[in-house]
Structure 1
């Protein structure tokens, strides 16, 4: 984990230094920083990162626009860190490819905790000892070892968190989970949980699975209870 490559993008120099100092105290040594979108995009194009911290209010380009550009180059997990705390901002950030969203002012240790959780889960999925990482339902196939999702034999681009969420559902078919439980089990934190994060990611997964109708059949919502993953059957495949 200590060898993980981290990119921090924020125009507040003081915050950049604080985050960098704190992460180095946690034994993270491969840290790059950028205070403009232009510099950040150049770094992303030149290097590969394991996680990116991204502010929204940058001097030359909004973090939302920058996230969209970054997603053209990599599926590296992105955590938004921003003073903009409205539901609209959070939904926008998660909807365009963000994996998590932390509002300022924040506890610096919260940021460190979320980084560690994401990196730990990435390492777990990359381990050759992991089993049952291939799920083939005919209609769609998820291969976590190669981080590939195909729907109707067509490759579907997904972020790391979307793949992780789908993997969670595949491992737990026909079981009901509340949004709080999903956040705790997939995002790995039950204290700072954002249930809207779960809602947005499930909505994005449904669209990518072609299951975003009013009556979803793969990831269904039991109102007032939670979500349940139902593996597609032959009837679904033939529709």
Structure 2
């Protein structure tokens, strides 16, 4: 049974989440602050975490960073903070997804299922990855070669850097800020238009239908995700 740790200081919301999770055959445990959450996670590592950022004893970002030091457990942020900068900060800290309050319970549980599923079916660790194959194209990360329908696809250095960064984080949402800073440099953290242009170029070269991509997915306002 999948064990979910709920980190939330609103008792009514905790009760609603617990009821809905248990009704869907999850095991649910709750912590009302960051300290208790980290202690529970250390004692009995959860399979997933639903995390509020506005905790009474510490910022939820610090909880994410601490959890990331010890595991790759899926973390779905559930927060009233709704600006792009706040979402990006959570994703940069290591969150896998972000749901803004108020939310649909069905949507939240769907995102939780997706986050758990990505972990269960995750590709090999980055250091062990060499060749990544999708239905549409194949990427050799060591040879830095991309083929589609048996033919080489020529990518610019920037296109390759973007593609490689996404592929080395399979299924995980990579924030706009992280992509910009790692590909263009620390002074380009807000130039989202660069990403739109280069991602459009990658899709034209790699996706069967660039207007409805299957592998290079946009998460509006947050970042991009590679799905094999």
Shorter-chain TM-score range: 0.5 to 0.7
Q: Deviations over 1:109-129 (max 9, x none)?
A: 11111111222333334xxxx
1:203 to 163, 179, 193: 179
2:14 to 6, 16, 31: 16
Aligned partners of 1:44 and 1:73 also within 8 Å: no
Where does residue 193 of structure 1 map in the other structure?
Answer: none
1: CA distance, partners of 2:74 / 2:95: 7
* TM-score for the superposition, normalised by structure 1: 0.59
Q: Deviations over 1:149-195 (max 9, x none)?
A: 239xxxxxxxxxxx9xx88799753479xxxxx9xx947xxxxxxxx
1: CA distance, partners of 2:118 / 2:51: 20
Where does residue 69 of structure 1 map in the other structure?
Answer: 66
Where does residue 115 of structure 2 map in the other structure?
Answer: 118
Where in structure 2 are there 5+ consecutive unaligned residues?
Answer: 140-145, 154-165, 186-194, 207-228
1: CA distance, partners of 2:58 / 2:136: 38
Number of residue-to-residue matches in the alignment: 168
**Pairs within 5 Å for 1:37-56:** 37-56=34-53
Cα 1:226–1:50 shift into 2, 3 Å: farther
Where in structure 1 are there 5+ consecutive unaligned residues?
Answer: 126-132, 134-143, 152-162, 177-181, 188-196, 215-219, 231-239
Give SS of 1:80's match: strand
Aligned partners of 1:94 and 1:200 also within 8 Å: no
